[in-house]
Structure formats: C-alpha cells, structure tokens
Chain A
Amino acid sequence: DAMVIQNPRYQVTQFGKPVTLSCSQTLNHNVMYWYQQKSSQAPKLLFHYYDKDFNNEADTPDNFQSRRPNTSFCFLDIRSPGLGDAAMYLCATSRDRGHIPSTDTQYFGPGTRLTVL
C-alpha cells in the first residue's frame, strides 16, 4: 500500500553518464517535489510541479531536469552527474497548496540513493 514509490532505490552511475530517477504516487496529489539530501543536511528542494506547472529553484543547476507526464509520475533527469551529485534524492507529494489546513502536508517516498563513480 505504498503511496509514493521511487525507483530505483539505489542507483550507481559513472561520472558524466546520464541517469533518470522515477517517482510515482497513488494519492492523486496535485503537487510533486524533488529534493536532494546529503549526509547530515536537511532536504534541499530542487524543483516542484503544481499540476503541470513547473517551478525551478533559482539555485538548482541546469544539470538537473524534470518531467511530469501525468499526475501520477514525475522524473528527475541528471544529464551529466558529477561526484558532488551523489546524494539521496527524495520525491514528495502534497494534495494542494494549503489553502485548507492539511492539504499542504508533504509525503515522502523512500528515496533513491545515487552513487557516482
């Protein structure tokens, strides 16, 4: 009964070799987020979608791209991974924007741990 699913759970790639991480949700939530989390740090937002509207964070490198082909799926593409991109990548969803309390609660997937060799 997993609600936010991420695949793969572990990804090993070579320096510069493109990689795609996937996230799917069974909650029918409007908002989907991608975070990067490094050891002993809080999650850092890379970008998010409200429905099909894409919102990039100002400090997210161009190396990171995202696609949301439908409500259920969202992808994170790392075009040329560097050693500094090794991290846990977390996908999260929220029902809506929080105009009604609790609709902005974020639910996280189990994460994909990326290793760059």
Chain B
Amino acid sequence: RKEVEQDPGPFNVPEGATVAFNCTYSNSASQSFFWYRQDCRKEPKLLMSVYSSGNEDGRFTAQLNRASQYISLLIRDSKLSDSATYLCVVNKPRSDKVIFGPGTSLSVIP
C-alpha cells in the first residue's frame, strides 16, 4: 500500500460544479496534512493546511478523519482558474519530511 493515495482522476467538471477529492494515508502517527495545488510547469503552492477536524477557506473545504486516515478537499462553484493538479501531502512522523500523493488533475470546463 502506498503511503499516500489519491483519486486517480482526471476530473473534468463544468464551471460552477462542486468537486471533491479524496486522499488516504497509511501512517496513523502522521499529524500534519496539507493540500497543495500545482499548475502546469509551476511549483506546488499551499492551498490549505488541515490540522484538526477540518477547515474552510472561501470555496474550499478540507476535512480530516483520523480514525479512517482520510482527508478530503471540496471545491464549490468551480472556476476555470481552479484547473490544476491537487496534491495531498502528509508529514512523515519522526522526520523533517513529508510524503506527496500522486496528485489528482482537475480541468474545469466552460
């Protein structure tokens, strides 16, 4: 089992749609969870950190379920500018490192 797994995608959704991405992690001792977005040929940029049971930032909502070792990202009212790859990132316990999921590609279509 991979340390961090994500929905394989790609997701193609119309503008205005709601889309949800799922991520699971294998190490129950992980404590820090992040969603990054990465545009084509650009660097990953932090979208949201998820430290407790979940948090919301405008159209974006992240949820964490520690019992199921599951993280989700919900995007409401999708915009064309939301088209990107979304990376689920989880800290590696007892280290300075993080583990990246493989990413899920989103295309928002006019």
Chain B residues with CB below 8 A from A104, complex form: 32, 91, 96, 98
CB–CB A88/B41 < 8 A: yes
CB–CB B97/A48 < 8 A: yes
A107 to chain B, nearest CB (A): 7
Please tell me if B42 contacts chain A, counting CB pairs below 8 Å: yes
A28 to chain B, nearest CB (A): 16
Chain A residues with CB below 8 A from B96, complex form: 31, 48, 50, 55, 94, 97-98, 104
A109 and B42 alpha carbons, distance in the complex (Å): 9
CB–CB A101/B51 < 8 A: yes
Task: Tell me how many residues of B have a C-beta within 8 Å of chain A.
Answer: 21
A52 to chain B, nearest CB (A): 13
Please tell me if A114 contacts chain B, counting CB pairs below 8 Å: no
Q: Which residues 52-110 of B have a CB within 8 angstroms of A? A: 87, 89, 91, 96-98, 100-103
Are A42 and B101 also in contact (CB < 8 A) when A48-B96, A102-B49 are? Answer: yes
CB–CB A42/B102 < 8 A: yes
Please tell me if B25 contacts chain A, counting CB pairs below 8 Å: no
A98 and B44 alpha carbons, distance in the complex (Å): 19
From A45, A105, A110, A111, give the contact of B97 (CB < 8 A): A45
A30 to chain B, nearest CB (A): 9
Chain B residues with CB below 8 A from A108, complex form: 43-45
Please tell me if A106 contacts chain B, counting CB pairs below 8 Å: yes
A81 and B28 alpha carbons, distance in the complex (Å): 39
A residues adjacent to B (C-beta < 8 A): 31, 41-43, 45, 48, 50, 55, 88, 90, 94, 97-98, 101-102, 104-111, 113
B residues adjacent to A (C-beta < 8 A): 31-32, 34, 41-46, 49, 51, 87, 89, 91, 96-98, 100-103
The 10 closest A-B pairs by CB, nearest first: A42-B100, A108-B43, A101-B51, A111-B43, A108-B44, A110-B43, A104-B32, A31-B96, A50-B96, A98-B32
Other than A42-B102, A98-B91, give 12 A-B pairs with Cβ distance below 8 A. A41-B102, A42-B103, A48-B97, A98-B96, A101-B32, A104-B32, A105-B34, A106-B46, A109-B43, A110-B43, A111-B42, A111-B43
